[in-house]
Structure 1
Amino acid sequence: MKAAVLKAFNQPLVIKEVADPTLTPDGVILKLEATGVCRSDWHAWQGHMTTPNANMLPHILGHEMSGIVEEVGKNIKNFKKGDRVIVPFNQGDGVCPYCVSGRHNICDNRQMVGLDFNGGFASHIHIPNADLNLFHLPENISFLDASSMGCRFMTAYHGVMTQGNLKAGDWVSIYGSGGVGLSAVQIATAAGANVIAVDIGDDKLELAKKFGAVATVNSKRENAIEAIKEITKGGSRLSVDAIGHQDTVLSSVMSLQKGGRHVQLGMSSNPKGGLTSLPINLILAYEIEFIGSCGMPVPEYPKLIRMVEMGHLQPGKLVTKKIALDEINQAFEDMNQYTGSGMTVVTKY
């Protein structure tokens, strides 16, 4: 099969023919129809990831996937050849205490697609433990929409709705209008929130307005904290950092009203596991909650899929570029330079 292979960190992926995946009794082999190119892939390409197998090379990245079932293992009960599916990128074992309580995304034995085993920058992929870790894709949701949900949209949904405990009418500030940030804008707006988008790019802020932001702040030209305090008359109830930089983390926390809630969606590239300074005295005095959010557990998928089915959410509209697998290295270079906007999806293998 054709694949884009990571042979050395921060070096171009090598487009080449590799061995087809091997089917296991509990696994499924998919023919991929669309694969998103996510900033998490960029972090893995840079060598920032800390999962047990993330630094084993050579490797195939890619974790935002949808496709068609081509082969099924002998123990598979829930899928058959020809089924349309979407791939949750957090894969649980189904038996640890966290999986049993519905939190597959923080499974004790979690496997990350494209990190712990070969991912979706290829024409085909093998998904282990597939009865638990695949989800049927309704006929009226396109593969493009499905792969647009793949990581960024799912991550934003879990972060905003579950971890953020969003309520209709809330003021929500969202730092970063890339794929995760724009997803969060669309989701929070659909849930009835008043969204303020913050970024340094006017083109990205225009997209945020398109997806429902009632106000935007260019933090290159104005003080985002002051602007948000003025717009909201005191601060946001929920603030989301979709970037992971030191300044966006701090600004997000300091944009909150008393009793506000910060949700961290963006991964930090700071050393020592993303070590970042926080205004502890402010967090204490204002009783601010600082909450992490990682992917999305499988039990939340039906709610998200239903909202997409009904047209309340339209993840495919976040896609601004469709590319061939051969063009993957340019997508990483765009992320290096923080150029481009929206989402890029591989649709030709």
Structure 2
Amino acid sequence: MRALVLESYGEPLAERDLPEPTPDPDGAVVETEACGICRSDWHAWQGHGDWVDDRVPTGQVLGHEPAGVVRAVGEDVESVEPGDRVVVPFNLADGTCPACRRGRTNYCEGATALGFGPDAPGAFAEAFHVPEADVNAVPLPDEVSATAAASLGCRFVTAFEALDAVADVGGGDRVVVVGCGGVGLSAVQVAAALGGTPVAVDVRDAPLELAADVGAAETINADAVDDVPTRVRDLVGGADVSVDALGTADTCRTAVDSLARGGTHVQVGLTGDDDRGEIPLPVDDVVQRDLTVEGSRGMPPARYEELFRLIANGRVDPEALVTDTVALGDVSDRLAAMSEFDAVGVEVVTEF
């Protein structure tokens, strides 16, 4: 089968003809219909993550935001069968550890991540294997297209979990989102759907225009104002919730400094080579203004039903974030575009 392999960091992914996967007794093989191209793929392609022992090894098939059709299942699988349409989260869980038993499968102690480790070759390929399919393969409703499901990917579900489960955003909450890439734009749309008032911050006009289209009440070009937190206070009186959707010292500090007293910051963006996992925070300010700092990663597969209901009733439209669909051979160029911040919105591979 055709697949893209990470052979050298920062170099074009190699197109290879690999053996077709076969299902483990508890697994399923899925024919890929669509797969998002995410900034986490870019981090893997750059070789980031060694500072937390999370560097993706060379030889890996990338791609972690897939939707497709089940081709084959193992003898122990009960929840899906060949022909079923499914979406698969990147945070693959075993379903048995203490975290899983508490419903926190996105923090599974025995987890592997689709497309990031040798035990889970990814979905920049014609087909891929899903371990523990009864936990990790989520049936996809007919009304949700493969492209929309792939745009849910890790970005939309991460934004939903961060704002709904972690920050508990509700009616009237002011939410500042710093960085309007895929996860940031998702956070803007989710915040609006939950009844919040989103304020989108970026240094580029194009993603800010898209943010306004998907629900931002206010937008701020950080290059056009002297002080973003002051501007946030002028516009909405400070934020009840802030999200750093990029993962740099500047974006994180901007998000935290934009909070009103008693506010909550949720970190979803991962750092790169400049910060290497360490970002200083104004701890005295955290104490004196009763701020909360949280992290959020992925979402339990069981919560997909909640997202599907939001899509069905029109409260969210993840496909509205899709700005381009591309072929598998275009992935390397699209990753390179992320290095220059030339990509806008969510790009999805639909031709394999």
TM range (shorter): over 0.9
Say yes or no: does 1:88 pair with 2:89: yes
The reply to whether residue 35 of structure 1 matches residue 35 of structure 2 is yes
Distance in 2 between the 1:270 and 1:214 partners?
A: 33
Mapped pair 1:225 → 2:225? no
Q: Which residue pairs with 2:15 in the alignment? A: 15
Cα distance between partner residues in 2 of 1:239 and 1:155: 14
Shift of 1:110: 1.1
Q: Does 1:327 align with 2:334?
A: no
The ranges of structure 1 where at least 4 consecutive aligned residues each deviate by more than 3 angstroms after the TM superposition are 49-55, 270-273
Write out per-residue CA displacement over residues 155-196 of structure 1, whole angstroms, 9 at most, x where no aligned residue: 100011111110111111000111001101111111111111
CA contact (8 A) 1:319 1:342 kept: yes
Shift of 1:217: 0.5
The equivalent residue for 2:169 is 166
1:112-123 aligned within 5 A: 112-116=113-117, 117-123=120-126
Deviation track 1:52-73 (CA, whole Å, cap 9, x = no partner) reads: 7753321100000000000111
Which stretch has the larger CA shift, 275-284 or 46-55? 46-55
Task: Report the 3-state secondary structure (helix = DSSP H, G, I; strand = E; otherwise coil) of the residue aligned with 2:143.
Answer: coil
Shift of 1:107: 0.9
Where does residue 5 of structure 2 map in the other structure? 5
After TM superposition, the structure 1 stretch with the greater mean CA deviation from structure 2, 299-308 or 180-189, is 299-308
1:341 to 319, 344, 350: 344
Partner of 1:111: 112
In structure 1, give the amino acid aligned to 2:11.
Q
Q: Which moved more, 1:162-171 or 1:29-38?
A: 162-171
Name the amino acid aligned to 2:31. K
Gaps of 5+ in 2: none
Check 1:270–1:149 CA distance in 2 against 1; reply closer, same or farther (3 A cut). same
Counterpart Cα distance in 2 of 1:214 and 1:53: 37
DSSP 3-state at the match of 2:325: strand
Q: Which residue of 2 aligns with 1:63?
A: 64
Distance in structure 1 (CA, Å) of the matches to 2:56 and 2:164: 32
**TM-score, with length taken from structure 1:** 0.97
Whole-Å separation in 2 of the counterparts to 1:16 and 1:209: 41
Distance (Å, rounded) in 1 between the aligned partners of 2:39 and 2:56: 17
Question: Displacement of 1:139 after TM fit?
Answer: 0.6
In 1, Cα distance between equivalents of 2:55 and 2:283: 32
Shift of 1:291: 0.3
1:137 match = 140
* Aligned amino acid, residue 34 of structure 1: A
Secondary structure at the counterpart of residue 347 of structure 1: strand
Q: Distance in 1 between matches of 2:317 and 2:276?
A: 34
How far the C-alpha of 1:303 sits from its partner, in A, is: 0.7
Any idea what the Cα deviations from partners look like across 1:199-235, whole Å, max 9, x if unmatched?
00011110010011111100011021110011122x1
TM alignment of 1:221-300, pairs within 5 A:
221-222=224-225, 223-233=227-237, 235-270=238-273, 273-300=276-303
Give the Cα separation in 2 of the matches to 1:276 and 1:107: 25
RMSD: 1.3
Letter in 1 for 2:245: A
Q: Aligned partners of 2:76 and 2:11: how far apart in 1?
A: 39
Deviations 1:267-316 (A, max 9, x none): 11146851111111101100100000001112222111211122211101
**Normalising to structure 2: TM-score of the pair?**
0.96
Q: Residues 3-25 of structure 1, C-alpha deviation per residue, up to 9 Å, x if partnerless?
A: 11111111110112111113211
Q: Which one is further off, 14-23 or 208-217? A: 14-23
CA contact (8 A) 1:270 1:276 kept: no
Provide the rounded CA distance (Å) in 2 between the counterparts of 1:207 and 1:16: 36
How many residue pairs get aligned? The number is 348
Task: Determine the C-alpha separation between the residues in 2 that align with 1:109 and 1:49.
Answer: 19
**Percentage of identical aligned residues:** 40
Please list the CA deviations of residues 74-133 of structure 1 after superposition, one character each: whole Å capped at 9, or x if unmatched.
111111110000001111111111100000011111110001221010000011111111
Gapped regions of structure 1 (runs ≥ 5) = none
Greater Cα shift, 270-279 or 86-95: 270-279
